[in-house]
């Protein structure tokens, strides 16, 4: 009985350690922000800007920790298994949601293993070619592809990713064919187009923007419902004659499931305050994340569920049934 009493006391003490009073003292040490992608990637760059803004408001360092691999699955797995004490955060995204359908065993459940704080922005996808190709419009790309069926090739971030499914739907809509070359990430697509390894690609705009602005890539169209403010002269795919291909990659902040509600509320409060700063918004927009938007944890969870459903629909439309 004495041992049982001691155990009960310990459990009560542990529960009290995460009372609202304890949460008010949080944070008392550095916070780890897991980015499931390599250093220098778009998610990494965006996370560093947001982390810096939040760190100054919380009064504690926020250390970015890159854990890349398996299209973000390795970092997500690591974050999901971390203590739910408010000191481990993770960059979550539309890719993380899509992986629920793209992988048989991603190693985590994006809806059950995390508490989602909020989105902080989104980026469109951009159809790009090398200037040396001489292709200057979507119509010209389609014409060349039809003139030599199967001779052109395009790169993607991997089988079933938006950059793959988007082009597949584009080919279906415009009735042309091109060979698929899978790469590992949007940066690899851009590098391949620059190096003339592939004829075209559909990376996220934030990754390709600087090369387009420098004239190293030609932007044919943005895969969105509206033109992107960063490239106002570039038409949408629909304006260029290709319908029903609108892609949006979003990013946000999440923590392991079970993180105390009071701490979740504090993180949410600080994130929204950081993204209400015009200077921070401007920095993110220069990276191509032109759609700065926040919301409630519940709204973010719903957005992720919607992305899971959308990925499944796109896979069916593209005829993809074999998962990784």
CA torsion angle for 106, 108, 252, 213 (degrees, to 10)? -20
Q: Is residue 239 part of a domain?
A: no
- Which residues does 167 contact at the CB level (< 8 Å), separation at least 6? 154, 156, 178, 180, 200, 201, 202
**pTM for this entry:** 0.80
Q: Are residue 120 and residue 150 in the same domain, yes or no?
A: no
Q: Is residue 213 part of a domain?
A: yes
Distance CA 186, CA 68 (A): 14
- In terms of C-beta density within 10 A (0-12 exposed, 13-18 middle, 19 or more buried), how is residue 21 classed? exposed
- What is the structure's pLDDT at 10? 42
Reading phi first (left if > 0) and then psi (alpha if -120 to 50, else beta), residue 218 is in beta
Count of CB atoms situated within 10 Å of the CB of 150: 10
Q: Is residue 211 part of a domain?
A: yes
Q: Is residue 197 part of a domain?
A: yes
Q: Which two tokens stand for residue 90?
A: 């993770």
Question: Is the Cβ–Cβ distance between 51 and 15 less than 8 Å?
Answer: no
Q: How many domains does the chain have?
A: 2
Helix (H, G, I), strand (E, B), or coil: what is residue 31? strand
Q: Is residue 119 part of a domain?
A: yes
Terminal Cα-to-Cα distance of the chain (whole angstroms): 52
Among 59, 66, 56, CA closest to 33? 66
Q: Are residue 268 and residue 313 in the same domain, yes or no?
A: yes
Among 249, 187, 176, 178, CA closest to 217? 187
Q: Is residue 208 part of a domain?
A: yes
Q: What is the CATH number of the domain that holds 276?
A: 3.40.190.150
Q: Are residue 155 and residue 211 in the same domain, yes or no?
A: yes
Q: Is residue 182 part of a domain?
A: yes
- Which residues does 319 contact at the CB level (< 8 Å), separation at least 6? none
| Residue ending a domain, choose from 188, 222, 256 | 222
Q: Are residue 78 and residue 104 in the same domain, yes or no?
A: yes
- What is the structure's pLDDT at 238? 93
Q: Are residue 153 and residue 180 in the same domain, yes or no?
A: yes
- What is the structure's pLDDT at 324? 60
Q: Is residue 230 part of a domain?
A: no
Distance CA 218, CA 223 (A): 14
DSSP secondary structure letter of residue 204? B
**pLDDT < 70 regions, the chain:** 1-24, 288, 290, 321-324
Distance CA 294, CA 280 (A): 14
Q: What is the pLDDT of residues 304-316, one digit of tens each?
A: 999 999 888 888 8
Domain hosting residue 293, numbered range: 29-124+248-318
Q: What is the CATH number of the domain that holds 162?
A: 3.40.190.10
- What is the structure's pLDDT at 312? 87
């Amino acid at each position: 009985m004495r041992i049982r009493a001691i155990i009960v006391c310990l459990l009560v003490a542990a529960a009290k350690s995460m009372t609202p009073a304890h949460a008010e003292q949080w944070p008392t040490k550095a916070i780890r922000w897991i980015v499931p992608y390599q250093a220098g990637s778009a998610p990494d760059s965006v996370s560093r800007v947001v982390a810096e803004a939040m760190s100054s408001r919380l009064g504690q360092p926020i250390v970015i920790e890159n854990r890349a691999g398996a299209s973000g699955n390795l970092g997500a797995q690591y974050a999901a298994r971390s203590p739910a004490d408010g000191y481990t955060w993770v960059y979550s995204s539309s890719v993380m949601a899509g992986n629920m359908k793209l992988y048989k065993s991603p190693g985590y459940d994006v809806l059950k293993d995390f508490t989602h704080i909020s989105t902080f922005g989104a980026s469109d996808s951009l159809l790009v070619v090398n200037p040396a190709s001489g292709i200057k419009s979507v119509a010209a790309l389609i014409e060349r592809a039809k003139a030599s069926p199967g001779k052109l090739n395009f790169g993607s971030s991997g089988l079933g990713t938006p950059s793959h499914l988007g082009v597949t739907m584009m080919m279906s809509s415009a009735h042309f064919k091109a060979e698929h070359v899978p790469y590992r990430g949007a940066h690899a697509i851009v590098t391949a187009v620059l190096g003339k390894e592939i004829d075209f690609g559909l990376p996220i705009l934030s990754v390709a923007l600087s090369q387009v602005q420098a004239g190293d890539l030609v932007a044919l169209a943005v895969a969105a419902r509206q033109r992107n403010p960063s490239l106002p002269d570039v038409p949408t795919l629909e304006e260029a004659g290709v319908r029903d291909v609108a892609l949006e990659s979003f990013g946000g902040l999440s923590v392991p499931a079970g993180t105390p509600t009071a701490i979740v509320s504090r993180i949410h409060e600080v994130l929204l305050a950081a993204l209400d700063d015009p200077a921070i918004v401007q920095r993110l927009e220069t990276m191509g994340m032109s759609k700065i938007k926040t919301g409630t944890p519940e709204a973010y969870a719903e957005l992720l569920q919607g992305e899971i459903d959308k990925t499944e629909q796109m896979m069916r439309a593209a005829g993809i049934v074999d998962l990784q």
